[in-house]
Structures are given as structure tokens and as C-alpha cells.
Amino acid sequence: MRSAATLVMVAAAVLAQATIVNRLPFAWGPGPDLVVAAVVAVALTTSPAAAAACGFGAGLAMDLLPPAEHAVGRYALVLCLAAYLVALLRRNTGAPGAVGSRTSGWAAVGATAATALGVGAGYAAVGLLMGDQHMTPAAVGTGVGVGAALTVLVAPLVTLPVLWVRETLADSEFATVQGPMAPGGW
């Protein structure tokens, strides 16, 4: 149930990003990244491995969907690592092993902001490594900064609902379970 809902939500985020956000004519270049926002919400509530898989899947989907202006795997690599790191940090610095401890909205938005910046920087870094001619310092600066700011703006509309759905479903699933329980799982 939880994983199915997650799958639907992430797929919806990917499709919305590819078909709606990418369609909007932003004069300044980058738009909000719904995929990052959704993946952060998933990563905050799951194990690092699952988060990595989720980020990989979502990133690969974005790589494969038109426009094919970058190499396949670039976004998958960055999102995979980012989701893994978010999940790992959440697991190790948040309430470790605390089942049902809900993530506060502010923390989720903060995590989204940090991840958006990191994903933007990582994407640019992969581009630099691969010799992408678009990666001039000015373009990277505005791309990362503006993109992250817009992603933070849409975070309350994407990250928080996904987070809420996942935590609500987890609550109902684990409500009757007694005793310590390994956190995470799909």
C-alpha cells in the first residue's frame, strides 16, 4: 500500500515535471524540480538503500523522458546519491530508530532546500566532468540558485503531501506492532 502510493506519487511528480513544469516558459532558465522535492520526502521516511533506489528510478525516468539533452544516467546518478545521503543523514542524525517520529514540516522543507542545492551542484559537476559546454560558472550559479529557490517554493505542495501520505500509511501499518521495530522498509 505504502510503496504503491509512493510509486504513484513519484511517477506523478516525474510526469508533472516532464510535461507541465518543463513546458512553462521561464524567462530565467530553470524551473522548480518536483522530482527532487518528491524524492526528498521519500528519502526522509525510508532506508538509505530504498532511498537510493527511489532516486535512481526517478532520475532515470527523467533522463529517459524527452527532451534528451543530457546523457542517460546523469540525473539518475545524482539523484541516487542525493537520496541515499538524505536517508543516511536522517537515519543517523534524526531520532535513530524512532518509529513514528514525524518529520516536522520545516525540517522537510530545509532538507528539500539542501538537497535541491546539492542536486544542482552535483548535476553541474557531472556535466563538468563530462565536458558539457553549458556549464559556465554564471549559468551554473543561476541555475543552481534559482532552481533550488523555486524547488523550495514548491516543496510545501510536493514534499509535505508525499511525506504526510507516507507517514500516515506507516502509522496505520505499524499502529498495532508492539516492541522495537527496524525502521524503514518500503
Partner 1 sequence: MLRDSPRSRLVLALLVAAAVVLLVLDARPGADPVTSVARAGGELVFAPAAAGVGWAAAPAVTLYDGLREGPRAAARVAELEEANAALEAELQAARIDRNRSDQLDDLLHLSGLGAYEVVPAQAVTRSTARGYAHTVTIDTGTESGVRPDMTVVNGSGLVGRVVEAGPRTATVMLATDVKSAVGARLESTRKIGVVNGGSVPGGPEADLTLELFDMEAPVEAGDRIVTLGSHEGAPFVPGVPIGTVDEVQVAPGALSRIARLTPAVDFASLDVVGVVVAGPDDDPRDSVLPPKPKKPEKSEKPEGEQ
Which positions touch partner 1 (CB under 8 A)? Answer: 15, 18-20, 23-24, 47-49, 52-53, 56, 59-61, 63-66, 68, 71-74, 76-77, 80-81, 84, 88-89, 91-93, 126, 130
- Closest distance to partner 1 from the beta carbon of 55 (Å): 8
Complex with partner 1: residue 56 or 144, whichever CB lies closer: 56
Nearest to partner 1 of 30, 59 (CB atom): 59
Where are the alpha helices (H) located in 71-136, listed in sequence order?
74-93, 105-130
Return the residue matching grid coordinates 538509505. Answer: 48
Of 72 and 153, nearer to partner 1 (C-beta) is 72
- For the record, the C-alpha cell of 56 comes out as 535512481
The DSSP string of 21-69 is: GGGS--TTS----HHHHHHHHHHTTS-HHHHHHHHHHHHHHHHHSSP--
Amino acid at 19: T
The grid coordinates listed for 172 are 496505520
Tell me how far, at minimum, the Cβ of 83 lies from partner 1, in Å: 10
Whichever of 80 and 124 has its CB closer to partner 1, that residue is: 80
Which CA distances in Å does 181 have to 98, 100, 174, 177, 186? 9, 10, 9, 8, 14
| Minimum distance from residue 151 beta carbon to partner 1 (Å) | 20
**Least Å from the CB of residue 54 to partner 1:** 10
In the complex, least distance from residue 180 CB atom to partner 1, rounded to whole angstroms:
16
Retrieve residue 145's grid coordinates: 540558485
**Terminal-to-terminal C-alpha distance of the chain:** 9
Q: In terms of CB distance, is 21 or 108 closer to partner 1?
A: 21
